[in-house]
Structure 1
Amino acid sequence: SHIQALRKAMSDVSQGRPVDVASIVESASFSKIPWRKSLLSQAVDEALSSVDDGVTARAIENRLLEEQAAQLLPRGDRQVYQSEIANSQRIIENLTEQRAQILAEEPTGSGKALSRARSDKQARLRDIDQRIRQVQERLEFSRNALAPHEPGGQFFEARAELARRLQVESELNAQAVSFYKTAEVRTPDEVAPFEPDKILQQAEQKMMADQAGDIDLRIAEDSLLESPDMIITVLDDDGNPQSRSAREVLDESNRESEQAIQDSSLFDVAVACFLRG
C-alpha cells in the first residue's frame, strides 16, 4: 500500500493533478508488536490511574478542609469567648487573693468564740474554693470551645490552608496566562508557494549527499578493488553463519540502502503533496 501511494502521488505530481492517496494510505497497515503494545498500554493505564488517584485524593482532602473551614466561628462569636476567658481569669485572681487573706486570718477569743471563729473561717474558705472551681469550669469550657477557632486550631488552620491553596492556584493560572499567545494568521504572501519540482530536486540532492558521505561504503569498495575474490562470513535469516562473496554482499547492501533512501524521500514528497491538497 505504501509503494502504491508513492507511485500514485508521483504520477499526480508529474501530470499536474492534485495528489490524492487517501484511499490507498487508509488501507496501509504496519506490523504490530503485541508485547510492546501491552507494555505501553499498561504504562499508560498506570500513569492515568496514578493521576486519577491523586486528583481524587486531592478532591477528598479539599472537601474535608471546606467542611472544617465552614465551622469556623465568626469574629464576633470568637470575641465573646475571648472576653469570657479574660473575665474568668480576673475573677479567679481576685478569689485567690481573697482566699489568701482568709488563710492569713488568725481566729481570736476563747472557748466557744474561738470555735465559732474557726468554723466561720473554714466556711468562708469552702465557699471561696467552690466559687473558684465554678469559675475555672467556665474558663476551661470557653478555652476548649475557642481552641479550634484560634491559630493552630483545626478549623482555623483549615481555613488558612484553603486560602493558601487558592493563592497558589491563582498564581499558577496567572503564569499559564502569561505564556498564552494567540496564533498569528499568515497572509497568502507569507505562505511559501508549493514547488514539487524543487522538492524532488532537494530529495535527489540529499540522496547523492548521503551516498557520497558513506565512508564505510567507500572503504569496503576500496578493499574489494584490492581483493575482488574476498570471501566473508555472514549470518543468514535464521542466525546461522555462512560464507559468501564480499562483492555479492556489498551489492545487495547497496541495493537495499538505495531502495530505502528512495522510498523515504518519495514518501516525504507524497505526504507533502497530500497535505497541501
Structure 2
Amino acid sequence: MTELNPYIPFLSEITEVIKHTEIEFTFRMTYSGDVKPGQFFEVSLPKFGEAPISVSGIGDGTVDLTIRKVGKVTDEIFENYVGDTLFLRGPYGNGFDIANYKGKEILLVAGGTGLSPVKGIVDYFSAHPEDCKGFTLLVGFKSPKDVLFKKDFEEWEKNLNVIMTVDTPEDGYCGKCGLVTQYIPEIPIKNSDEAVGIVVGPPMMMKCTITELFNVGFKEENIWISQERKMCCGIGKCGHCKIDDTYICLDGPVFNYTKGKFLKD
C-alpha cells in the first residue's frame, strides 16, 4: 500500500472573508476533520510559497484562519476572496485540549494576534459557560484600531468576564489602558491553587504575565502556553522550529508550562 506524501496539500475553498483591521483578515476555509484550538495549517499558493497559520475558529465543515498581511505569501493570500481556493496542509501540532480546563476557573491572557490560536477556547466556554467554574479573558492590543474579533467580543461579554486593554488610546476611546499584567491582581480568582491559566502572546508579555500569575498563587503545572515560531515543514523534518531536542511543530506549539519554561533560544 502506497503511503500518501505528507507534503502534498489539499485545496480548500474560501467561504467567507472577515476584515478586522487593514492588515488582518479571517479566511473561513472548508475543512472536514478533527482540529483543536492552537493547531496550525500550512497555507500555500503556487509560485509564492507557504506560511503557517493558527486555527482561530472551528465550525461545521470549516476552519477559520486569521492572517496578517506581512510578506510575500500573505500579501498574495489577501488577493483571494469568497469562492477562491487556497492550498492547505495540516492541521499540525498538539493544540489546546478543552478537557484540561473543564470544571476549573480559567484565566486566559492574550496579547494582540496571540488571541487567534486561543479564540476556539473562548468560543467554546462562551457557548458552554456551565462547563467551567468561571472564565476571565484578559487581552491587550496596541491600540483600538488593532482590536481583532470585535463582533465576537460582543458575544463573549454575555457569558464571560472580559477585560480588554490597549497600550495607546486614541481620541474617543473610553476603555482600559495599559499592560495586561497590571489587571491580573484585580481578577477575582476564588481558588488560585486549582485555577488554570492560558497565556499566548509576544515572549516578553508571556514572561511577565506568568510571573504575575505566580504572584497571585497559580501553580506552574496549571499554566499552558503556546510557542510562536516559524514552522516550515510541520512534521519535524526541516528542523527550523527545533529548540534543543524539542520540535515545536510536533511536540507543541502548545505546552504545559512545566515543559515550556525550558524552551529558550
User: Is the pair's TM-score, using the shorter chain for normalization, greater than 0.5?
Assistant: no
TM bucket by the smaller chain?
under 0.3
Question: Larger % of helix: which?
Answer: 1
Normalized against structure 2, the TM-score is what?
A: 0.15
The one of the two structures with greater contact order (alpha-carbon pairs below 8 A, sep at least 6) is 1
Question: Larger % of strand: which?
Answer: 2
Q: Bigger radius of gyration, 1 or 2?
A: 1
